[in-house]
Amino acid sequence: MQKIALSLRAKKKTIGVVPTMGYLHSGHESLIKASVKKCDITILTIFVNPSQFGPNEDLSRYPRDEKGDIAMAKRNGVDYVFLPTPQTMYPDGYETYVEVGSTAQYLCGESRPGHFRGVDTVVLKLFNITQPHYAFFGQKDFQQLAVIRRMALDFNLPINIVGLPTIREKDGLAKSSRNVYLSPIERAKALCLSAGLKKIADAVKGGFTNVDLLGDILKTEISQHPDIRIDYIACMDADTIKPLSIYKKGKTLFALACFVGKTRLIDNVVV
């Protein structure tokens, strides 16, 4: 893959990469389409990265559909699909990891220790392998996008990191590979997450900017379902991913992670 990418760059081809863990949905498809439109060559990577999962997380049961993923790649104009094995990415004796900083301190970085260390490490490796000019990520994983942008800046990577809007179901639920875990009843309850975030956005549009009370709107919406367990609800600076106590126009991030049944879902809005 690296030899192919270097050969393409030598031919002055513009390369876009879409890093994924597979089980693709329309959110991933939007990233692929953006890359195909922007770049001469699009590389889709599919790798369920063990280093970003904790010991009690869902690595072994993370959904996989290699055949369906490749079919989506073909019909959307992907030029190469890179499907490495864990042994390829982390061979015997592997010991080098990216040390993450304050961008990864809160939210998922706090509730999933070591997660972003694994994310940054595998993304840096994928960048080195695929040699892209552009890399495409979804804003549903807003903190992940910020952490990767920080790494690209800090390591002087000659890559444009492109963040694209969250793709949602018609009823508002953010697209996620983990949605497949939800029972019909759980899925219906999960709609309160996006509904609460929409109420925050509507309140801000109406001129309401007290961040504590905006957060309470979200908590009230979720509290309608007492069996939904809140991991975190937080108001952060969208640039630094640090706690925000006063509204910052266009840069105020409300982010959440909740367990609906056994399934951990994340979502966010920037207002």
Looking at the annotation, which residues are catalytic? 28
Do 3 and 27 form a contact (C-beta atoms < 8 A)?
A: no
Helix (H, G, I), strand (E, B) or coil at 81: strand
**Would you tell me the crossing angle of helices 66-75 and 26-38 to the nearest 10 degrees?**
40
Find how far residue 205's CA is from the centre of its chain: 26
Q: Which two tokens stand for residue 105?
A: 């301190």
Instruction: Show the beta-strand stretches assigned E in the chain.
Output: 15-20, 41-46, 80-82, 134-138, 160-164, 229-237, 252-260, 263-270
Ordered strands of the 263-270 beta sheet? 229-237, 252-260, 263-270
To the nearest 10 degrees (0 to 180), the angle between helices 211-222 and 184-205 is: 160
* Cβ proximity of 228 and 102 under 8 Å: no
Cα–Cα distance for residue pair 28/167, rounded to 1 Å: 9
Amino acid sitting at position 129: I
